[in-house]
Amino acid sequence: MAGQVEVDHQSHQLTIFTAILRVPPLLVLDAFCGLRINLNGLGVEHWFIENLLLFAGVSISLVVFFLPSKALRSLYNISLAVGALITSMWWNNVFITKINERRSSSDWDSVFQLHKSIENTGRLYANIIFSLDFTVYLCAQLLYAFLFVTVGAKSYWLRNGNLTYHLVWFCLPVVSRLCMEGIYNFDGDDAEEVIGQVNHVVYIVKITALFEPVVNLVIAVVAKALWLLFRMSRFVKVCTGIIKQLGITIFLESEWTRLQVPKVLRIFFTCRFLLHILDFPSEMILESQDLPELLANVSEEIAAHICDTFIAVLGISAILSPVASFMGNLSRKFIGGHEGEAEHVGTMTSILFFILALQTGLPSLTRTKRVARLYRNISLLATAHLHFIHNILHPVLMQLSTSTVAPIQRHVRAMVAAFMLLLLPTVCIWYWWSVLTVSTWLLAVTAFCVELIVKVIVSLIVYGLFLYDTFSENQWESLDDYVYYIKAVGSTFEFLSGIFLFINGFWILVFESGGIIRATMMCIHAYFNIFQVGKDGWKKFYLRRLAVQKINSLPEATEEELRQFQDVCAICYQEMKVTARITPCQHFFHGACLRKWLYMQDSCPLCHQVIMQAEENEAAEPENVPRDPGNHPNQFLVQGAN
C-alpha cells in the first residue's frame, strides 16, 4: 500500500514537471501575441521580415508546446547544454578581459597569502591563480561542464566522458592566456604588439576549445532530430488510426489529457502574474497619495494585465475552474446535495468566461474599457454561478418536501441557501441601478438576476405545497394542478426572459459591437433558451390538456361499484373509497393518479393498452354489460393486501 502511494506521488510529480516544461512556449507565444517583443529593437525594420519572424516565433512555440513529453525533455536538455556552452565562452571572455586590464598584483584579492618573494611576472601569475576571482571562475566553469555533461546531448562519447576532461576544454582559453604571462613581456615598449599577438593566439584557442563540445552537440542534435522525426511519423500514424476508428472527439480528448491543458494554463497564469508583479511599474506606487488610491491603482493594473491577450484569457479561465468547483462543492455540502451535482460547475464556468471574453473582444479593448468589461463579465459569471447553485438547491427542496424523517437542520440549511439566493441578486440589482446608467449590459444582468429570483420563489412555493401535502392527513387531489400552474408561471417568465435577452443581444449586435462570435452565440441562445424551452413548454401543456380530456371522458365508478370491488389503486396502492375512474379496459384508478400517469405515457398502468384506442373501440362493445367484481384485473392487489 505504501509502495503504491509512493508510485502515485512520483507519477504526480512527473506530470507537474511535464506541465511546467510546456509553460515557456506559452510565455513566448503570449509575448508575441501581446506584441511585447520589440523586433525593431533587434534591428528588424522591414515589415515583411518582421511579420516573417513573428510567424516563425509563433509556429515554433506551437510546435514545442505540442511535442511529446520525452521529446520536450530532450529539447530542454540540448537547450541547457547550448546555454551552458555559450555562457562558458562568455565567462572566458570576461575573465580574459579582466586579466588584460588588471596588470598589478594589488588588483587581485588572494585567497591565500603568499609570503615568499617571487619574480614580478610570477607574482602576478600566482596572484591570479590564487585569487578569489579565479576561484569563482573555476566553480562557474565546473557548473557549466557539469550541466553540459549531465543534461546535454546523450551521445555515447559525451555520456561516457569525464567531467574533468570537459572542464579542461571549458577553461582552455583562460589557461592558455595565463600561460602566456610567463612567455611574453607585457610591460615592454612593444606591449601593444604583444597584446595583439596574444589576443590572436587566444582567439585560435577559443575556436579550438569550441570544437569538441560543438561536435558533440551537433551529433546529439542530429541524432535527436532523426529520432524525433521517427517518433513524429509514428505519432501521426497513431493519431490517424484513432481518428478513423474512434472519431475526432476521442482524439481531441486524448490530446487534451496528454497535454494537461488545464494544469499547464494554471501554471502559465501563475508565472505570468508573478513576472508582472516583479515588473510592476514603480512610478504608480510613488504617485499614489494614500492607501485606498494605491490599492485601486494596483487592482486596475493587475485587472488590465491578466486579460490583455487571448492566451491570458485562457489562463484566467483555467484558474476560475477550481475556484468555481470549490464554491460549488462547498454550496452542495452546505445544502446537502448529492455527490456529482457540482462536478461540471468549474468546467462550465471556465467555458462561459472564455465565451464572454471572445464575445466582447476583451483583450482588444483599451485599458479602461477592458477593466470595466472584465468587471461586467465577472458579474455575469457570478450570477450564472448562483443559477448553478439553484440547480443544486431545487432537487434538495423537492426531496425534503416529500420526506417525513428528514432532520430539521437540512430544512434550515436549504432555507438559508434559498434566502441567500434571493438576497444577493436583489442587493446587486439595487446597487447597479443606483450607481450605473441604463445600458444593454445592465438590462441583461438585471433580467438574469430577476429570472433567478423568480426561479427561487417558484421552488419555495412548490416546496411549501408539497410539505403541506406530506403532513396533511387527507389526500390533496388538486395539488398537481397548483404545482403545474406555479411551475408554468416560472417557465413562462424564463421563456420571456430568454426572448428579452435575445432582443437585447440583437440590439448590441446591430448598434454596439457586432461580430461572428456574438451572432453565433445568439443563434445558440435562440435555439436552446427560446425554441427548446417554448417547445418543451407547449409539449407539456398539450399533454396535460390531452390527459385532462381523457380523464374527463372516462366514467366515474359509483359508490356501489367501489363497495363491491373493495379495490386499491394500482398506482398509489391506496384504497378507493370515494371516487375512481374506469378505463375502457375495465381497470379502476384514482382520477388524480391516472392523470399524473397520463402526463408521462398514454397507456394503461396494468395492461399497457393505449387508453384512447381503447376508448375509441369502446363503442363497439355492449354498453349495459354488468361488471363482475371477481373478474376485475385489480383484484390481485386486494387479495395481496388482505
pLDDT reading at 620 higher than 50: no
Long-range contacts of 600-603 (CB under 8 A, 24+ apart): 602/546, 602/550
Q: Three-class SS string for 475-516? A: CCCCHHHHHHHHHHHHHHHHHHHHHHHHHHHHHHHHHHCCCH
Is the separation of the CB atoms in 112 and 180 below 8 Å?
no
Share of the chain above pLDDT 90, in %: 27
Sequence-distant (≥ 6) Cβ neighbours of residue 443 within 8 angstroms: 500, 504
**pLDDT recorded at residue 386:** 95
Q: Which fold has domain 554-641?
A: Herpes Virus-1 (3.30.40)
Find residue 568's DSSP bridge partners. 575
**pLDDT recorded at residue 46:** 65
Distance CA 429, CA 215 (A): 70
Distance CA 84, CA 95 (A): 16
Selection from 20-24, 73-77, 109-113 with the highest mean pLDDT = 20-24
**pLDDT recorded at residue 585:** 84
Give the tens place of pLDDT for each residue, 126-158: 677 777 888 888 888 888 888 887 775 444 444
Is the separation of the CB atoms in 362 and 313 below 8 Å?
yes
Grade residue 603 by pLDDT with cuts at 50, 70 and 90: confident
pLDDT reading at 464 higher than 70: yes
Q: How many helices (H) and strands (E) does the chain have?
A: 25, 2
Question: The C-alpha cell of 252 is what?
Answer: 481531441
Selection from 323-337, 338-352, 589-603 with the highest mean pLDDT = 323-337
Is the separation of the CB atoms in 133 and 108 below 8 Å?
yes
**pLDDT recorded at residue 624:** 44
Chain mean pLDDT for the chain: 81
Q: Which residue has the higher pLDDT, 221 or 266?
A: 266
Grade residue 49 by pLDDT with cuts at 50, 70 and 90: confident
Domain ranges of the chain: 67-251, 260-471, 554-641
Question: The pTM is what?
Answer: 0.77
**pLDDT recorded at residue 45:** 65
CA-nearest of 298, 327, 310, 311 to 271 is 311
Grade residue 24 by pLDDT with cuts at 50, 70 and 90: very high
pLDDT reading at 631 higher than 60: no
Give the tens place of pLDDT for each residue, 360-418: 889 888 888 999 999 999 999 999 999 999 999 999 999 999 888 889 999 999 999 99
